[in-house]
Structure 1
Amino acid sequence: MIDFLITLPGILMAISIHEFGHGYVAYILGDDTAKKSGRLSLNPLKHIDPIGFLMLIIAHFGWAKPVPINSNKFKNERIGLFLVSIAGVVCNIILAIICIYVYKYELRYVNMYALNSIILSAISINIGFAVFNLLPIPPLDGSKIILSILPNKLHYYYFKYEHIGSIILVMLMLTDNIGIVANPIYSVIKKLINIIL
């Protein structure tokens, strides 16, 4: 229960900012689908996927309910798809960096153990959420980033085999092999954050 209470704020923040990022960038690019469906919001209750939420609590790798996007409304579909797909990940990384600065400030002026634990958990979860969503496995954001740069003639195969991605994800998590794919991405993001800081 204590672990749950420590990780819950970070999970809710990670889900909310990630999905809001997708919807907001899509809205800027001319697609109001997320706004019309009530998903252009920072309210985590609008974005929670029960299974993905449970996986976030257990493994710190999980997913939210995808924000509806209509790429046909973008002026440039490829660029729009790329920007929308990467927006959630960028938002998680930015939030993780903000939390790092908050942690440094809190550690210096407050230094409350419970608060330290919550902020550190939020940092870890946001980085983990970014890493997980960058995996090049459908239907995660990483696969859509790849889709945005694939030749049109290969899009058919992406959508044909997209459903297999969910099975692969579940198998990787159940066999505890998700790190094989995620660790290289995690290392890159950690180095990026260290450069920024």
Structure 2
Amino acid sequence: MTYEPVYTRRSNRDFVPSPIFLGILVVFAGSGFMAWNQVGKVGVDVFLFVVSGWLLSLCLHEYGHAVVAYFSGDRSVADKGYLQLNPLKYTNVLFSIVIPVVFIVLGGIGLPGGAVWIDHRHINSRVKDSLISATGPLANIVLALIASVPFLIHDFSLANVTDPHYGFWAGLALLAFFQVTAAILNLLPIPGVDGGGIVYPWLSREYQRAWNLFAPYGMILLFALLWQSRANELFFNFVFFFTDRLGLDGNLIYDGLQLMRFWSS
């Protein structure tokens, strides 16, 4: 009689969303309801709505990596709790959750985080390896499209600030904007971000060794590039090229950012 190794025996509980994720989802729905109905201070409502929505997207981004890795052969992602959408299970909460949230609040940009650890020894295909990296930014793209549906149906560029639901629409536009920035940044083919992970399996061993040396500094390189005014301008021009086509009005996005920063209003 043969026995299946313990680490391969899986339970449906591995895919049950964590209470933390469900709690964030409740905050997102509740703050969206409050922003829609102008309950209390609208800026606080928008802040909670955008930040909780961004946290949900970070969870789904990392879940995308994990679930594809799981079905590509790496069952260890289930043991690490990555399939339960628990942000506290990520290998680096600081870089995966804290810093990205700080950046959307202060910098107005959806910074990529990093952080489910994949055991690539179990991945026997370069295509699967690339797909594991690609599913994170793909999740951001899907979320951007979903959030943009109302703006594609109705022209909100003429929306009036006296509209009782203006705060909600401004927050949703901002949230969609963050998804676009995160998708673009994550798809850059540089070490340390998902775009680099997409091209990495296709490099020669010599290039992979050099790539691994620079990977820990990829985020620093990204910061340095965005700090340069010309690169920053080109990046946001590229972002607004896509947001315009998603029906997201730049003024509405800006108003969402100002509402979210309620402490400076």
Matching residue of 1:165: 218
Aligned to 2:136: 88
Q: Which has the larger radius of gyration?
A: 2
Structure 2 matches for 1:12-27, cutoff 5 A? 12-27=55-70
Query: Could you tell me how far 1:123 is from its partner in structure 2?
Result: 1.0
| 1:103/1:119 contact within 8 Å kept | no
Q: Cα 1:107–1:190, aligned 2, differ >3 Å: closer, same or farther?
A: closer
Offset at residue 79 of structure 1 (A): 1.4
TM-score between the two structures when normalised by the length of structure 2? 0.61
Match of 1:153 in 2: 206
Change (3 A) 1:192 1:30: farther
Look up the equivalent residue of 2:111 and give its one-letter code: G
Residue from 39, 61, 76 that aligns with 2:110: 61
Farther-moved stretch of structure 1 (143-152 vs 185-194): 185-194
- C-alpha distance in 2, partners of 1:140/1:162? 8
What is the SS of the residue equivalent to 2:82? coil
Q: Distance in 1 between matches of 2:244 and 2:171?
A: 23
In the superposition, the TM-score normalised over structure 1's length comes to 0.79
Give structure 1 stretches of 5+ with no counterpart. Answer: none
C-alpha RMSD of the superposition: 3.2
Partner of 1:7: 50
The reply to whether residue 39 of structure 1 matches residue 89 of structure 2 is no
Which ranges in structure 2 are unaligned for 5 or more consecutive residues? 1-42, 91-95, 157-162, 248-265
2:194 is equivalent to residue 134 of structure 1: no
Change in CA separation of 1:118 and 1:40 when aligned onto 2, cut-off 3 Å: same
* Match runs of 1:83-122 below 5 Å: 83-102=131-150, 112-122=165-175
Shift of 1:113: 1.6
Counterpart of 1:128, as a letter, is T
* Offset, 1:44: 4.3
Q: Structure 1 residues 40 and 83, CA, compared in 2 at 3 Å: closer, same or farther?
A: same
Distance 1:188 1:134 in 2: 16
Q: Deviations over 1:84-129 (max 9, x none)?
A: 0100111111111111225567989x97222212221221111111
| Residue 70 of structure 1: aligned partner | 119
Equivalent runs, 1:164-183 vs 2, <5 Å: 164-176=217-229, 179=232, 182=235
Contact 1:137 1:165 in 2 (8 A): yes
Q: Secondary structure at the match of 2:64?
A: helix
Distance 1:53 1:153 in 2: 36
2:70 and 2:77 in contact (8 A); partners too: yes
Deviation at 1:153, TM superposition (A): 2.8
Q: Percent identity between the aligned chains?
A: 25
In the alignment of these two chains, the number of paired residues is 192
